[in-house]
Amino acid sequence: MVDGDWHLGYDSNSHLPGADLTFGRIDSGIYCLKKPTVTFGDPERGDQPLPGEDGVRMGRDYQRSATVTLELGVDTVDYPAVRWWPPNLLSGTGRMIGSWPKNPMFLELLKASGGTPESWNVDAVAMLRQVWRADSVREGAGRVAWLTHTRAGRSRRLYGRPRDFEIGSEQFTGQGYTPVIARFTAVDDRFYSAAHKEVELWDYYRIGTAPRPGRPGLPSTPEWITQRTATLAVTGDLPVHPTITIYGPCTNPKVTLNGLWAAELALTLKTGEYVIIHAQPWARTVTKFTAAGTSAGSVADKLTRASPRLAKMTLVPGRLQAQLSHSRAGLSPRQGPRVKITWRDAYGSW
């Protein structure tokens, strides 16, 4: 993506297609008529009046979501804007609406395939409407789309769902142009980095090499190493919720963020089994998976009382220390858990 690009994406679900639509600039055929606006929902304030006194008691406040309003021009005066090619790629599961190759020759092939500016425009508005309808997302709680914008050389995204879609006027559709107003409502008010970060911990001996200080000409000697601690470099402006994946074998695995919180599970994972702790606002699940990768159901009840609520599992900006511990009973030195901590840095704006 380059400056000025917008991208709406979401995953396919069974027979329902996903979306992979890049728009915003003139050469996409669907471009912004003016700078999109972002509005934030009013915070829910916990202020309460003080009986018989002046003033109020400040309570717990809650930040609400953000909404992006896009005024778009669907322009097919010169070329089609529905750029699926070849058409048979849309058949079957896993197909994506709005995905096309970045090849200048492609537009000439589309134009040569027939049609008029009006027919191209009707098809393009229908495609945009289908993308904004987001059938594969709407049919399940917790499923979200992402709206990404690139500005000043950096890409950030909101997670939520496409909402309102309105055709402004069809006065010039016959000539190949239709204005559209579309809105996207986010789950929260955080703007996430498009690139995710990941840190691993493990507590079994892995092959490594020991350096020989002062003797660089000699080869390193093999040794077995573990990594029970790691540093997380969390940048951005706002606290962010991570995803923690714990792979067996182990008993009572515990991941500690020093000075913040610790997530501990009172269960045993066999070799190949794993648990994913999703703390993001749109997920909030703790799910166990078998060695075959199929879900074995929720194990949220296995989080110990010392663990915080998922909503409280946030990483604050800065350099954080993570630590892995567990019960080693019955395990050999070459057995033990592996943990992945992933997150996207969060900001207050694009």
Sequential pLDDT tens for the chain (350 residues) = 899 999 999 998 888 889 999 999 998 899 999 999 999 988 888 888 888 888 888 888 888 899 999 999 999 999 888 776 444 454 555 678 887 777 777 778 788 888 899 999 999 999 999 999 999 999 878 899 999 999 999 999 999 999 999 999 999 999 999 999 999 999 999 999 999 999 999 999 878 776 666 666 666 677 778 999 999 999 999 999 999 999 999 999 999 999 999 999 999 999 999 999 999 999 899 999 999 999 999 999 999 999 999 999 999 999 999 999 999 888 888 889 999 999 999 999 99
Q: Which helix (H) or strand (E) holds 18?
A: strand 18-23
CB 33 within 8 A of CB 73: yes
46 half-sphere exposure, CB direction, 13 A CA radius: 6
108 half-sphere exposure, CB direction, 13 A CA radius: 3
Those residues with Cβ within 8 angstroms of residue 119's Cβ, 6 or more apart along the chain or in another chain: none
CB 209 within 8 A of CB 154: no
Query: Is 208 in a helix, a strand, or coil?
Result: strand
Dihedral sign from CA coordinates of 101, 106, 110, 116: positive
- CA-wise closest residue to 295 among 276, 281, 268, 279: 276
CA angle, residues 271, 287, 294, in degrees to nearest 5: 60
Question: pTM value?
Answer: 0.88
Instruction: Please report the beta strands in 187-293, taking only residues with DSSP state E, as ranges in sequence order.
Output: 191-193, 197-210, 221-227, 229-234, 243-247, 250-257, 261-264, 268-269, 274-278, 285-289
Rounded Cα distance, 20 and 127, in Å: 12
Q: Mark out the alpha helices in the chain (DSSP H runs).
A: 104-112, 117-133, 135-138
Rounded Cα distance, 23 and 124, in Å: 12
